[in-house]
Amino acid sequence: MTATTVKISLKRTPQDYKWTKPPEWCPGCGHFGILQALLQVFAELDMDPTRTVLVSGIGCSSRLPHYVRTVSAHTIHGRAIPFAIGLKLANPSLEVMVVGGDGDLFAIGGNHILGAGRRNVDFTVLLMDNAVYGLTRGQAGPTLPLGMQPKALSKPNPHADLNPLLVALASGFTFIARAYSYDIKYTAKIIKEAVLHKGSAIVQIFSPCVTYNNIMTREWYEKRVYKLDNEPGWDPVVHDEKEDYEKR
């Protein structure tokens, strides 16, 4: 009688990180793509759900931690980042991620972006950007372009739009990137790179609001988004101090 060895893979799958509670987002919401991309990243990196913490504030995007099997903290409006910084300082071994919308992270909580970048905190910020306050029925968010008038506004937006990545770059974030939520594969790739980065990382993810932003739709974005990776000579890495000065 001969002995046989059976190898059993215990590697987790995306479904292992998915909570049973169905997402409470509108059908077609761009946030579904971000959730799927995040689940893929968790599985690819085989992240320990007991050592991975998702922190959010208030808004449609901030519901995301409810739908994954990790440790989570649903905090108050605009205060996800200082809460996450406290977690990382108290226990540096945790993998800490912040998820939030453009209003939560760059209006109510915009001052905390500055501190996180300056300190180069080793965590990842996922900015789920739909340019409106979806949970409170479509008011203009800080990234809504000047003069644009989605259906919830009584007049065109009178304010200039904020560029979150320029703010993050000026604040000292050492990894910045953009993605588009309907391109799940590429979004997962970018999030994975951000998680693996040692230092402060932020990913702005364009995520169309199908209910209140009837201008910046999927069709609107797909006429405008493209991958910088395909640009000849594109190199996002700063290799020395001279190049750092020139790229600024």
Tokens encoding 143? 């990234």
149-171 average pLDDT score: 96
pLDDT for the residue numbered 5: 62
Per-residue pLDDT for 141 more than 80?
A: yes
Out of 76-80, 118-122, 180-184, 224-228, pick the least confident: 224-228
Q: Nearest-CA neighbor of 128 among 95, 164, 155, 172?
A: 164
What is the pLDDT at residue 7? 56
Considering the chain, what percentage of its residues have pLDDT values greater than 90?
84
Residue 228: band (very low, low, confident or very high) from pLDDT cuts 50, 70, 90: confident
Q: How crowded is residue 189: how many other Cβ atoms within 10 Å of its Cβ?
A: 18
For 56, the enclosing helix (H) or strand (E) is strand 52-56
2-21 tens-digit pLDDT: 666 655 557 899 999 999 88
Predicted pLDDT of residue 244: 67
- The mean pLDDT value for 229-243 works out to 78
**Which pLDDT belongs to residue 34?**
98
Confidence of residue 229 (pLDDT cuts 50, 70, 90): confident
Q: How confident is the model at residue 203 (pLDDT cuts 50, 70, 90)?
A: very high
Q: HSE of 149 in the Cβ direction (CA atoms, 13 Å)?
A: 6
Mean pLDDT of the chain: 93
Q: Please tell me the distance from the alpha carbon of residue 38 to that of residue 214, in angstroms, as a whole number.
A: 26
How far apart CA 50 and CA 206 sit, in angstroms, is 29
pLDDT at 9: 59
Mean pLDDT of 40-54: 98
| Max CA separation in the chain (angstroms) | 83
Give residue-wise pLDDT tens across range 66-116. Answer: 999 999 999 999 999 999 999 999 999 999 999 999 999 999 999 999 999
Specify the pLDDT at position 128: 98
How many CB atoms are closer than 10 A to CB 52? 20
At 172, is the pLDDT very low, low, confident or very high (cuts 50, 70, 90)? very high
* pLDDT given at position 247: 59
User: What is the structure's pLDDT at 65?
Assistant: 96
- What pLDDT does 238 receive? 74
Distance of CA 123 to the CA centre of its chain: 12
Q: How far apart are CA 119 and CA 114, in angstroms?
A: 9
Q: Which residue has the tokens 């007049």?
A: 155
* Domains by residue range for the chain, with CATH: 33-224 (3.40.50.970)
Give helix then strand counts, H and E, for the chain. Answer: 8, 8
Nearest of 72, 62, 205, 187 to residue 133 by alpha carbon? 62
The arithmetic mean of pLDDT across residues 116-122, rounded, is 96
